[in-house]
């Protein structure tokens, strides 16, 4: 089972503290979201899992954290100033503004039962291109129309990696093939943001640029497509809600020769099967476009010099063949927020208890769960029990994220932890004072086991690994 729709997750998120609408007390700010006490933990756990898998468990990938505001020339030569735009139309009837290739994602403001463009009253202007980069100005003296002070908030993390190619190569002494990984915020002035955290103007990306010999690019591209498809499943997303999509020639970015997207079933409620899916991540073969375009003396196929502004050459010298060339780049690019949404949707389950009441259980992988264990006193008016429970929480905390909670009856406390995906609850009762043991309750089976306090940490650590 998974969530029947995104709205179920929106309401759970707000109720329990995963994600809140941003600036709510001032009426909100269209499609901006704040991550609450549980959301920030879940996002951090997703990012750590990605980083550990790529940077720590492999020997060929290094990490990087480049700046959000970069020299404007980066975005000139990357092609973003000219081509990073979406087609938009205005409606003369409702005065709405829509992205022409995503009309399916928005309701017609005047007739919400149909999509934008589907009502007889819809009267669209000709499509025009709208650049998605957020502009800003640099420096105290900068004024809005001062061109020399113009800068952008990065719309992707990738370019920060390309412009640091030589820095990382020379200091890490890596040889091809190798990768550079980066996690960070990106900004796009999306025409039609929406669907909760699926499409927002400020979001976080996990991008890796893997540099390869041109002749190896196709095979290594396929390797990363398969690897990421598997990786999402290790995070607990079921295979039936994931699928691969091969971009058509018309959909490919100008620099890419092949891109495969991994789609997730974000919209299971839609009657049309095809429309249930949308992009979780993209994995592109970007050719040698990026390193060439940022190089001092790149030459296009006609031998024309393209970049008079760069001061460095980002080509690679192969010691063995004594050849110099521009590596191809394989780019697996995922969104933190879309991954978090997919994980929440996939983990969502409902279970009926003995009394016939329906309970929500978030079956998160223990590795991702915001809280690993909740320590609960069975009688909060008994100081010895409270003290023992608080001490157990304190002792567990260095090894795992633990909380103490006595703000309700035990049934309510269990239900609350199930709903936020806490794998284990530890209950301290009257007997605990006698036998120095506690009851450990499993989130998914609701089975209980008596464990001695002495062995509790090792017991939990072992079970959390599964």
Binding mask 122-161 for ligand ATP (x = CB under 6 A): ----------------------------------x-----
Within positions 402 to 421, which residues make up the interface with ligand ATP, using CB under 6 A?
none
**Which of 277, 245, 240, 272 is closest to 261 using CA atoms?**
245
Instruction: Characterise 274 by phi-psi region: left (phi > 0), alpha (psi -120 to 50), beta (else).
Output: alpha
Within positions 177 to 196, which residues make up the interface with ligand ATP, using CB under 6 A?
188, 190
Q: Tell me whether residue 139 is exposed, middle or buried, using C-beta atoms within 10 angstroms of its C-beta: 0 to 12, 13 to 18, 19 or more.
A: exposed
Q: Which residue is nearest to ligand ATP (CB)?
A: 335
The least distance separating ligand ATP from the CB of residue 238, rounded to whole angstroms, comes to 19
- 288 phi and psi angles, rounded to 5 deg: -100, 15
The least distance separating ligand ATP from the CB of residue 121, rounded to whole angstroms, comes to 28
Q: Mention every residue, 6+ apart, whose C-beta is less than 8 A from residue 271.
A: none
The least distance separating ligand ATP from the CB of residue 331, rounded to whole angstroms, comes to 8
User: Would you say 429 and 451 are in contact if contact means Cβ atoms under 8 Å apart?
Assistant: no
Q: Tell me whether residue 260 is exposed, middle or buried, using C-beta atoms within 10 angstroms of its C-beta: 0 to 12, 13 to 18, 19 or more.
A: buried
Interface with ligand ATP (CB under 6 A), residue from 221, 258, 294, 338: 338
Long-range contacts of 311-315 (CB under 8 A, 24+ apart): 312/166, 314/162, 314/165, 314/166, 315/291
Q: Is 372 in the site for ligand ATP (CB under 6 A)?
A: no
Neighbouring C-alpha atoms within 13 Å toward the C-beta of 444 = 10
Interface with ligand ATP (CB under 6 A), residue from 18, 152, 178, 203: 203
Q: Is 75 in the site for ligand ATP (CB under 6 A)?
A: no
Scanning 18-26, 60-68, 219-227, 330-338 for contacts with ligand ATP by CB under 6 A, the matching segment is: 330-338
- 382 phi and psi angles, rounded to 5 deg: -105, 105
Scanning 36-44, 69-77, 107-115, 334-342 for contacts with ligand ATP by CB under 6 A, the matching segment is: 334-342
Encoded tokens for 277: 């899916």
Within positions 80 to 109, which residues make up the interface with ligand ATP, using CB under 6 A?
none
C-alpha pair distances (Å), 71 with each of 75, 135, 162, 163, 247: 8, 12, 13, 11, 31
The least distance separating ligand ATP from the CB of residue 76, rounded to whole angstroms, comes to 18
Interface with ligand ATP (CB under 6 A), residue from 200, 295, 310, 439: 200
Q: Is 333 in the site for ligand ATP (CB under 6 A)?
A: yes
> Between 342 and 396, whose beta carbon lies closer to ligand ATP?
342
6/108 Cα distance (integer angstroms): 19
Q: Is 443 in the site for ligand ATP (CB under 6 A)?
A: no
User: Would you say 266 and 277 are in contact if contact means Cβ atoms under 8 Å apart?
Assistant: yes
The least distance separating ligand ATP from the CB of residue 30, rounded to whole angstroms, comes to 13
350/362 Cα distance (integer angstroms): 8
The least distance separating ligand ATP from the CB of residue 283, rounded to whole angstroms, comes to 9
Residues touching ligand ATP: how many (CB under 6 A)? Answer: 16
Q: Is 9 in the site for ligand ATP (CB under 6 A)?
A: no
Interface with ligand ATP (CB under 6 A), residue from 88, 122, 260, 334: 334
Interface with ligand ATP (CB under 6 A), residue from 184, 335, 366, 370: 335
Q: At 284, which helix (H) or strand (E)? A: strand 278-285
Interface with ligand ATP (CB under 6 A), residue from 119, 182, 205, 422: 205
Binding mask 268-287 for ligand ATP (x = CB under 6 A): -----------xxxx-----
- The contact set with ligand ATP (CB under 6 A) reads 156, 188, 190, 199-200, 203, 205, 279-282, 333-335, 337-338
């Amino acid at each position: 089972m998974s969530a029947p729709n995104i709205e179920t997750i929106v309401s759970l998120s707000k109720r329990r503290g995963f994600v809140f609408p941003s600036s709510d007390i001032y009426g909100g700010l269209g499609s901006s979201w704040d991550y609450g006490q549980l959301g920030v933990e879940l996002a951090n756990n997703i990012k750590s899992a990605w980083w550990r898998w790529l940077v720590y468990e492999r020997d060929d990938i290094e990490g990087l954290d480049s700046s959000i505001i970069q020299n404007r020339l980066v975005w000139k030569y990357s092609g973003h100033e000219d081509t990073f735009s979406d087609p938009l139309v205005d409606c003369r009837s409702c005065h709405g503004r829509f992205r022409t290739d995503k009309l399916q994602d928005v309701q017609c403001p005047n007739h919400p039962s149909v999509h934008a463009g589907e009502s007889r009253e819809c009267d669209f202007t000709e499509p025009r291109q709208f650049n998605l980069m957020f502009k800003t100005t640099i420096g105290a003296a900068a004024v809005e129309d001062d061109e020399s002070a113009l800068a952008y908030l990065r719309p992707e993390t990738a370019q920060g990696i390309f412009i640091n190619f030589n820095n990382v190569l020379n200091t890490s002494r890596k040889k091809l093939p190798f990768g550079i990984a980066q996690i960070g915020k990106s900004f796009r002035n999306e025409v039609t943001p929406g669907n909760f955290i699926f499409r927002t103007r400020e979001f976080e990306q996990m991008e890796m640029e893997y540099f390869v010999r041109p002749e190896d690019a196709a095979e290594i591209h396929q390797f990363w497509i398969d690897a990421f498809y598997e990786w999402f499943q290790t995070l607990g997303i079921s295979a039936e809600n994931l699928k691969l999509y091969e971009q058509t020639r018309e959909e490919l970015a100008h620099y890419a020769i092949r891109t495969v997207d991994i789609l997730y079933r974000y919209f299971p409620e839609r009657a049309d099967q095809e429309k249930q899916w949308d992009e979780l991540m993209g994995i592109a073969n970007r050719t040698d476009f990026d390193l060439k375009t940022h190089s001092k003396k790149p030459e296009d196929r006609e031998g024309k010099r393209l970049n008079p502004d760069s001061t460095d050459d980002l080509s690679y010298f192969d010691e063995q063949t004594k050849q110099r060339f521009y590596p191809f780049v394989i780019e697996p690019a995922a969104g933190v927020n879309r991954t978090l949404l997919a994980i929440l949707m996939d983990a969502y389950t409902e279970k009926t208890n003995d009394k016939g009441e329906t309970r929500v259980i978030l079956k998160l992988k223990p590795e991702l769960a915001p809280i690993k264990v909740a320590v609960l006193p069975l009688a909060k008016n008994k100081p010895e029990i409270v003290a023992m429970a608080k001490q157990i929480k304190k002792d567990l905390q260095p090894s795992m994220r633990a909380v103490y909670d006595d703000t309700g009856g035990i049934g309510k406390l269990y239900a609350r932890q199930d709903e936020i995906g806490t794998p284990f609850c530890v209950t301290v009762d009257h007997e605990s004072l006698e036998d120095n043991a506690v009851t450990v309750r499993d989130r998914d089976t609701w089975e209980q086991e008596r464990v001695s306090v002495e062995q509790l940490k090792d017991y939990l650590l072992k079970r959390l690994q599964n």
